[in-house]
Amino acid sequence: MGYLALIGLAWIAAAPAAMGDNPRAHPYADHLLVEVEVPDAAELQRLLATGVDPWPDHPRPGRLAVLVAPERRAALWADDWSLRVLSSDVQGDVDAEWARLAAAVRPVPGGGAFFTDFRDLAAIDAEIDALAAAAPELVTILDIGESLEGRAIRAVRITAEGPDDRPAVIVTAGQHAREWIAISSGMYVVDQLVTRASEPQLAAMLDDVQLFVIPVVNPDGYAYTWTDQRYWRKNRRDGIGVDTNRNFGHGWGGEGAGTQAFEENYAGPSAFSEPETIAVRDFVQGHPELVAYLDVHSFGQLVLYPWGDVQAEAPDDAALSATATAIAAAMGEQGAQYTPLQGAALYPAAGNAIDWSYADAGLHAITMELRPQDMEIGFVLPPDQIVPVGDEVLAGLWVMMQWAQAQAMEPPGESSTGAASSDGSGADTTTAASDSSGAVGTESSTGPVMPGGGSGLGDSTGVDAAPDGASGCGCDATRTPAAPWALVLLLVLGRIRRSGSREGGRRWGAGG
């Protein structure tokens, strides 16, 4: 069906929908999900100015899915866009998901059926508690702050017994409430690392590396998606909300961050105005053992790295690109294909978590945008996708954990000084310990296949460390820097990087 015919269908679909006695029971009555052809960045800005809700976190020129409320429809159609209606019954799509969830059997905490469907906040908290009770030697629950509505923001620490200064990776999910697959994947990571901790390869990793997972950064928003509006994105500030992934301090208020409260990417009145971002900031700053940050979102099947606010190379662009490439390859070996990309190459998104954690906290920082690519599916994935997507996240996380493990293996090196930021202020004055590239790698290893034919803690070959020999961008001199642990490997990998090669071995989850 051509665009013009589908535009006509959209007008037909504009007929009022029955709301029922409770208007909140049908919040998406008369909404459309529309694919818009956006030729360039200027036209993208014009489209967003109409007030439609772009579904990808990083909207970009090309074909873009947007949710169109009835009051926005006239402005969109008046601008003569090329359109295709993806769903003329958005409320019906939501109702179908609610019906399935209402019919599902609620899992027994720790009973093994948690990932048969998506779970609400109470079930997530109960499962975290059950895992901690079953493996107290591995799991510590940390309440790192409270949301606007007083809900606990919970972090789960997973590691073997050992010193607290071992390198650590932090994983956050659920900044955007409607991205249920990101939250289920955060929980899947926790579950798998705890229930499989006795496997030799993972046991060795947990001896060297600590992992912190915050499965639901935005608990108020997530709870609201279960009770009121399935496609709610922001936190619940004044009932209008702030996009927490535009509220971090680095580049706050820049391009790609909304200035009006009604906008889906509204950055808030000031940087770190929200208790959710304050909790993450304070936790990261209070844990100097952290060396890497992974922020999980959906959708688009992308692996993004700084900068996200400007199209300029970060000081560690080669290392970040190499890590993103390795993660995308590892995730792709599980099924879906992921594309590594600098964040701003899609669409600038100032004030995001990974730019702040990289520039201001000195961490090696990556964002995952999970399944799907199909805009018609969007945020409502069928439950049979939960485990496959979780396996993809687990495979990509293994690359980050290997990067962190390399920091534990290496002797102290040169500290970095100075600062770097996406706006060009400051300078990267790091002195490399040997070869100017500062690249290091991790050894290849082979592990068991995941239960059910999923990913293994399997084959993985080297992820380049930061060019300055430190974790992240070297912007924070208080972090423990890493120096090359094998000069020969350093020189070889340095030459590979300079030649532009991104060759690598088999990644975790290769099934071997």
Residue 474 has pLDDT above 70, yes or no: no
Query: What digits encode the pLDDT tens for the residues 155-167?
Result: 999 999 999 999 9
Reduce the DSSP state of residue 235 to 3 states and report it. Answer: coil
Across the chain, mean pLDDT equals 80
Residue predicted with more confidence, 263 or 180 = 180
**Over residues 484-512, mean pLDDT:** 30
- The band of 40, judged by pLDDT with boundaries at 50, 70 and 90, is very high
**Cβ atoms 389, 118 nearer than 8 A:** no
Range from 272-286, 294-308, 413-427 carrying the lowest mean pLDDT: 413-427
Given this model, what pLDDT does residue 424 score? 61
Given this model, what pLDDT does residue 376 score? 75
- The band of 425, judged by pLDDT with boundaries at 50, 70 and 90, is low
Instruction: Determine whether domain 104-408 maps to CATH 3.40.630.10.
Output: yes
Structure tokens at 124: 């997530």
Q: Which residues are catalytic?
A: 369
**Cβ atoms 447, 457 nearer than 8 A:** yes
Domain parsing of the chain, residue ranges: 3-99, 104-408
Given this model, what pLDDT does residue 421 score? 74
In the chain, helix, strand, coil percent, each to 5? 35, 15, 50
- Rounded Cα distance between 463 and 331, Å, is 14
Residue 468 has pLDDT above 70, yes or no: no
Given this model, what pLDDT does residue 495 score? 31
Range from 130-139, 358-367, 437-446 carrying the lowest mean pLDDT: 437-446
Give the number of other Cβ atoms within 10 Å of residue 312's Cβ: 13
User: Which residues does 167 contact at the CB level (< 8 Å), separation at least 6?
Assistant: 208, 209, 210, 289, 290, 291, 292, 404, 405, 407, 408, 471
- The band of 411, judged by pLDDT with boundaries at 50, 70 and 90, is low
Residue 453 has pLDDT above 70, yes or no: no
**Over residues 125-136, mean pLDDT:** 97
Q: Measure the CA angle with vertex 240, ends 353 and 347; round to 5°.
A: 40
- Give the DSSP letter string of 460-512: B------TTSSSTTS--TTSPP---S-HHHHHHHHHHHHTT-----PPTTS--
Reduce the DSSP state of residue 141 to 3 states and report it. Answer: strand
Structure tokens at 158: 């997973």
**Over residues 334-342, mean pLDDT:** 94
Query: What digits encode the pLDDT tens for the residues 81-101?
Result: 999 999 999 999 999 999 999
pTM of this prediction exceeds 0.85: no
Structure tokens at 296: 């999980």
Given this model, what pLDDT does residue 457 score? 55
Owner of token pair 């990267």:
428
Residue 431 has pLDDT above 60, yes or no: no
Helical segments of 199-243, H only: 200-208, 219-227
Q: Which CATH class is domain 3-99?
A: alpha beta
Return the closest-CA partner of residue 263 out of 48, 46, 72.
48
Range from 236-245, 389-398, 436-445 carrying the lowest mean pLDDT: 436-445
Residue 48 has pLDDT above 80, yes or no: yes
- Rounded Cα distance between 358 and 293, Å, is 8
- Rounded Cα distance between 267 and 254, Å, is 9
Above pLDDT 70, what percent of the chain? 75
The Cβ-side half-sphere exposure at 80, using a 13 Å CA radius, reads: 0
Computed on alpha carbons and rounded to an integer, the radius of gyration of the chain in Å comes to 22
Residue 18 has pLDDT above 50, yes or no: no
- The band of 69, judged by pLDDT with boundaries at 50, 70 and 90, is very high
**Cβ atoms 299, 382 nearer than 8 A:** no
Owner of token pair 């000031």:
270
**Cβ atoms 432, 438 nearer than 8 A:** yes
Residue predicted with more confidence, 512 or 302 = 302
- The band of 111, judged by pLDDT with boundaries at 50, 70 and 90, is confident
Given this model, what pLDDT does residue 497 score? 32
Give the number of other Cβ atoms within 10 Å of residue 39's Cβ: 10
Residue 296 has pLDDT above 90, yes or no: yes
- The DSSP bridge partners found for residue 100 are none
Return the closest-CA partner of residue 80 out of 32, 37, 41, 49.
37
Return the closest-CA partner of residue 121 out of 187, 56, 55, 191.
187
Query: What digits encode the pLDDT tens for the residues 205-243?
Result: 999 999 999 999 999 999 999 999 999 999 999 999 999
- Rounded Cα distance between 28 and 232, Å, is 11
- The band of 109, judged by pLDDT with boundaries at 50, 70 and 90, is very high
Given this model, what pLDDT does residue 287 score? 98
